[in-house]
A and B are shown apart, each in its own frame.
Chain A
Amino acid sequence: MFDLQTFSVPVSIFLIPYGLYMAVFIFYCFFNIYHLIRYGLYGFGLYIIITIFAGGTILLVSGSIFILKEYDWSQPIFLNNIIETYSKDLFKSW
């Protein structure tokens, strides 16, 4: 029988919405760069703007991946575990 307290899902389930979000983010980034190249004013300034935007985007995305890969994504999430962690551990430094 289904028991809510022993029900668990892996933490990696959160990577699905994150992956979708990243796909939309990258689409918008490319579209933004396309707009700048297609309609921007020809000159050195435009190249600097595109470099800053592309560089910052690469830095943020790679930084996010670097931090996220440190976690163990196979960890299960138990409902009772969340409640205990929330009530006992998360605010223990207060």
Chain B
Amino acid sequence: MYDLKKLPNQRENEKVILFLRRQWFSILIIIVAFVLLSGVPLLIAWYFWDIVNTWLFDTTFGPIITIVGSMYFLLVWLSTFIEFTDYYLDTWIVTNERIINVEQEGLFHRTASELDLAAVQDTTAEIRGFMQTVFNYGNVFVQTAAEKERFHFININNPEHVKEIVTQLVEDDKKRLASQGGALIGKVKILGK
């Protein structure tokens, strides 16, 4: 279990500044899909109840239809929760020293990576399209200095504000590093004595 007060490999004086997940719109899509996939068959069954009732009481078709129906609704329930888990476990944690990126892709693929703030060269906020403009969500791209690697904060709330905070934190981290006589080699921060 992740605890924001006890991050993995937490450094001295490291504090969590931002904890980000995809915007609520992502969860709304999952809920709407669940309601449609479970509600539409139930509505159809209710509308054609006389026929469905005949089928259900048939000694041959009744058990088969019930099994198929049970399998269908269990699948809808499980798929919804797998999608939700995917949403819930996709997180970005910005501290005053680093960015931690955790991505869950299905149940069997998980990526966790981190980046020192001092290694960040460029931060870009992107709001694209009607929905993102109206609901003020979008992407933030964090580009590192030495490599072509980018961290993507996908469909997060208020990306411009997040970009400003990250930029400020990067500046602060670079100043702190310089004041301590440290250096940055690639993505590795070497602290001075």
Contact = CB atoms under 8 A, between A and B. Distances in A.
B60 A89 contact: no
Interface string B85-110: 10011010000000000101001001
Contacts of B107: 28, 31-32, 35
Nearest to B3: A42
B59 A35 contact: no
B17 to A, nearest CB: 16
Q: Give the interface SS of chain B, mostly helix, strand, loop or mixed.
A: helix
Range class of the A interface residue count: 35 or more
A14 B81 contact: no
A61 B75 CA distance: 11
Nearest to B81: A53
Contact of B104 (A35, A42, A61, A91): A35
A90 B82 contact: no
Given A35-B104, A36-B85, A41-B2, 8 more contacts: A22-B74, A25-B75, A38-B1, A60-B74, A71-B59, A71-B66, A75-B60, A81-B60
B135 interface: no
Contacts of A71: 59, 62-63, 66
Interface string A1-33: 000000000010011001001100100110110
Interface of A: 11, 14-15, 18, 21-22, 25, 28-29, 31-32, 35-42, 46, 49, 53, 56-57, 60-61, 64, 67-68, 71-73, 75, 77, 81-82, 85, 89-94
